[in-house]
Amino acid sequence: MSRWIAAGAVLTGLAIGLAGCSSDTPAVEPVTVAAQSLQGRTIVLPIDSDLNITTGSLSVTDYIGSIAKPSVARFVAGKQTSSAQEDPSITPLKVGVTTVTLTTKDGSGQYVTFTLDVVKKGKSTPAS
């Protein structure tokens, strides 16, 4: 009888432990914007979301990012492997406003400059 009680206690503990792993907070989707549509815009980005930058016909590794106030956000370079690619992105670090410049690596002098407004959780710039 004591084995059944012990087994029941273990299963109850397991169920309670697993229930603690679930989250009532939904995952926050990144804001996705095409690099060529960023020029001159102000992008409003919640602190709990990343800005995913699609590169169109250019490789995901073709952009270098510069953040005027690196305490506000961080540029993450795009990556290309034989099995996957990851777009470049901006990760917010704290609430604030900064200027972001994306420059192509090909030496053509092409660049995109935009304002990034990192805000508390809330509304973001619609994707385009």
Q: pLDDT for 36-48, tens place per residue?
A: 999 999 999 999 9
Tokens at 101, concatenated: 């410049």
Q: Which residues contact 102 (CB under 8 A, 6 or more apart)?
A: 35, 38, 53, 63, 64, 65, 66, 88, 111, 112, 113
In this model, does residue 59 exceed pLDDT 80?
yes
Predicted structure pTM score: 0.74
Rounded Cα distance, 31 and 47, in Å: 11
Please say whether the beta carbons of 77 and 120 come within 8 A: no
Chain mean pLDDT for the chain: 83
In the chain, what are the domain boundaries?
28-119
28-119 is a CATH 2.60.40.2020 domain: yes
